[in-house]
Homo-oligomer: A and B are copies of this chain.
Amino acid sequence: MSLVETDDVEGGESLSLHQRILSDIRDKILSGAWAPGHRIPFEHELTAQYNCSRMTVNKALSQLAKAGLIERRRRSGSFVRQPQSQAAVLELHDIRIEVEALGLPYRYERLERVKRRSGAEERALLGLAAPGPVLALEGLHFAGERPFALEQRLINLSAVAEAGEEEFLEIAPGPWLIGRVPWSEAEHRIRAMAADETIADALDIDAGAPCLVVERRTWSAEHPVTHVRFVYPAESHTLVARFTPSQG
């Protein structure tokens, strides 16, 4: 069974066998050759076709199933799934890195820092059940001399007590938290908003000007950690997400 009939001169790359099987099938699906609903050859057929063991075929098919490209049904076989779930990998970069990528000097400046017990609104933002101590921060990210983004943040001090000791005068709370608290879950909300007086003032734009607002809530092992709202002037910012339906 391991004669390795090198009759497939085509590939010649350095892919492992199960990767080659996976990508062959994925290409058939993406090229449309195998339409949604089409039944993929049974494991034992692929086993014969690639002259390999079932485990190897299984590895490829399991991954395709996890990627959502195919659906596996016992006794029936594996089928190309109907609608591509349009799941996109959206990477939200560190603002410092974003700014420096523009070739501009980066600076963070704290505007406000208040420690208090969470009110009802703040509990809602954080997803907290009971009141507790929170740290409310407001700061500005600069690109050169111009304000690049306004940050309004709540930190749940019950989850991250050390944050209470930190001043955050020139270090942004984002990177500080990342290095300290591993996150297990997060939620983004992205929307457009007209700048109100406060925001217009901070960002040095006209009141009513359109802004992109990105809100993020983060949990670590079930505990709410932080809620942050970034407000970008519309001209200065675009979120870009590039992605593929599966993960190869």
Contact = CB atoms under 8 A, between A and B. Distances in A.
Interface of A: 27, 29-32, 36, 66, 83-93, 178-179, 181-194, 208-213, 220-221, 232, 234, 237-245, 247
A178 B29 CA distance: 13
A91 B211 CA distance: 22
Contacts of A189: 238-240
Contact of A185 (B187, B191, B240, B242): B242
Contacts of A209: 194, 210
Contact of A178 (B83, B220, B234, B242): B83
Number of copies: 2
Contact of A90 (B89, B182, B234): B89
Contact of A239 (B83, B186, B191): B191
Contacts of A212: 190-192, 212
Which of A179, A182, A208: most chain B CB closer than 10 A? A182
A181 B242 contact: no
Given A192-B212, A239-B190, A240-B187, A182 B89 contact: no
A178 to B, nearest CB: 6
A91 B86 contact: yes
